[in-house]
Structure 1
Amino acid sequence: MSRIVTQLSEISAQYDALFVDLWGCVHNGVNALPEAVSALQNYRAQGGKVVLVTNSPRPRAGVEKQLITFGVPDNSWDTIATSGDSARSAMYRGIVGEKVWHIGYPGEEKFFEPIGVVEDPVDIRMVPLEEAEGIVCTGPRDPLADPSVMRPEFLMAKQSGLKLLCANPDIVVDRGEQREWCAGALAQLYAEMGGESLYFGKPHPPIYDLARRRLSALGTDIPDSRILAIGDGVLTDIAGAMGEDIDSLFISGGLAAAETRTETQPDPDALTAYLQKEMSNPTYTIGYLR
């Protein structure tokens, strides 16, 4: 049974580092969440380290710029690990070939900018589907369109035996009051159609390996038993933490606000029913990060 807490400070002394999700926890896709920012600032003031672990397909530098526009101050975190960075490293190692068909929002071409962390990177070229050796999906072209619009192209890709690299395993996010589809929804559809999808964000191990490396680069050697993962996605943040044997704090007022009847705090019965349905067992739960 997940223990419901009212403040991060109730439990934070047990942990030397936090792996914190961004969307739905620290910002809502439009603006920073002030109570969450204050909680992280207070945690850092006590000596704790904050690693922002996000399924954003953007490189770390791109997420830093985005945080500025949302009003998230840089004194509320120490370092960032993105799904995009993890996926880009794999792409430049040639995991889906050199000629790739890109699916994504306009402007996400920065995903294909060269990186200096892969030795002897392959020469990635974006090509039409009929010429591709693999697929790179950073997100849907239209985040409001049902993922099924991709079925005809995915059928052709599957018949050609193309692997799909998914740079963001999230299924949906809430941008303010608007729910949008993410790359994970397309990767899920492709897999359901019989294609092969490769994932590099939460809940899959590569992004946690990256987060640990980023934490270690801060000059601290922190065991998993002293790390707390925080997030609003039971299928990503909490499932990933459980898979890594890391304690977790579930933010019930994010993606599952309706199911958990969260206003300021979750309804205990609704929370229990939701977690049982999703077969999830976060160590702690709170309505909103504060």
Structure 2
Amino acid sequence: MAEASAHPVRRIDALKEIARDYDAIVCDVWGVVHNGVSKFASAEDALTSARHDGVKVVLLTNSPRPHDGVIDQLDAMGFDRNAYDHVVTSGDATRDLIQKGEGAIFHLGPKRDLDVFKDLGVDLVPLEEASRIVATGLFDDENETPDDYRDLLRDLRERELTMICANPDIVVHRGERLIYCAGSIAREYGSLGGKVAFAGKPHRPIYELARETMGLGEDADAGILAIGDGMPTDIRGANAFGVDALFITRGIHGDELNAGDPSAESVTRLLDQNGLAARYFMPALK
């Protein structure tokens, strides 16, 4: 397992410098291969090149939607399917958690996420009839913030309902804006003493599902590289799962680093402050 270190993280200029050192790559999606509006062509080229070199590539995302919906979104952006072998989502892991539980469900999130319940045979009911909650996001993430949910979350806590969080991300970029995700709601609920079950990064189930999808055994972790821009999700998840991490710094932590091309010392300092480690960093995947 990776640990925080005083040694500076290594800057690389291109993924091809290190890709052949690994059997597989698990790569974040939002913030690394697209910004919610358009794809990053340099990331597409980098992952395609890695696959040509024999490296398996799984796109690992905290999207609350099943993988088919994410693939459709990537197709709509023109992201080449030759850049990846598989997509594994927090929505896929959420479906597993839903099936393992019992009781009617209140869906906290936008209607576009309803695919997560498809063919599961579960009852979606009004809040007052629910025995559990599945949070996939804010109802209106363009205009709402977690503050708008304080009264609702207090009511849920009083009823001692368990919340399944389908997307542990706190925020993501949508174009140039930061949008709140289900993780922000789950964080508030947890702070009230509510019980939360997390499906996606940085929690282990989604990584185990990715490894299984790639057909790799449990002893293959040393041959996996995790790529991502989120310290609480991508980097913490890589550290907990015991795999090397490539930190993309021009993502959601760009303002904290206060530079488009930060030094290795400043990146190392930020990681250390959060008790995290990454073996490599680069501003954007290419």
TM-score grouping bracket, smaller chain normalisation: over 0.9
Q: In the TM superposition, what whole-angstrom CA distance separates every residue of 1:166-209 from its partner, at most 9, and x where no partner exists? A: 00000000011011000000000000011111101000011011
The answer to whether structure 1 residue 270 and structure 2 residue 266 are counterparts is: yes
TM-score of the aligned structures, taking structure 1 as reference length: 0.92
Which residue of structure 1 aligns with residue 276 of structure 2?
280
Equivalent residues, number: 277
Which residue identity does 1:25 align to in structure 2?
V
The answer to whether structure 1 residue 289 and structure 2 residue 276 are counterparts is: no
Matches within 5 A, 1:1-290: 1-94=8-101, 97-115=102-120, 123-143=121-141, 144-216=143-215, 223-263=220-260, 265-290=261-286
- Whole-Å Cα distance in 1 between the matches of residues 172 and 148 of structure 2? 19
- Whole-Å Cα distance in 2 between the matches of residues 108 and 38 of structure 1? 29
Q: Secondary structure at the match of 2:257?
A: coil
- Whole-Å Cα distance in 2 between the matches of residues 105 and 42 of structure 1? 36
Q: Displacement, 1:17?
A: 0.5
Query: Identity of paired residues, percent?
Result: 40
The answer for unaligned runs of 5 or more in structure 1 is 116-122
Which residue identity does 1:82 align to in structure 2?
T
Q: Displacement, 1:280?
A: 1.6
Which residue identity does 2:124 align to in structure 1?
M
Structure 1 window deviating more from structure 2 (271-280 vs 37-46): it is 271-280
Q: Secondary structure at the match of 2:133?
A: strand
Q: Displacement, 1:258?
A: 1.7
Q: Secondary structure at the match of 2:255?
A: coil
Q: Displacement, 1:111?
A: 1.4
The answer for unaligned runs of 5 or more in structure 2 is 1-7
Q: Kindly report the root-mean-square deviation, in angstroms, between the aligned alpha carbons of the 2 structures.
A: 1.3
- Whole-Å Cα distance in 2 between the matches of residues 39 and 109 of structure 1? 33
Bigger relative CO (Cα 8 Å, ≥ 6 apart): 2
CA contact (8 A) 2:94 2:116 kept: no
- Whole-Å Cα distance in 2 between the matches of residues 262 and 10 of structure 1? 23
TM-score of the aligned structures, taking structure 2 as reference length: 0.93
Q: Displacement, 1:25?
A: 0.5
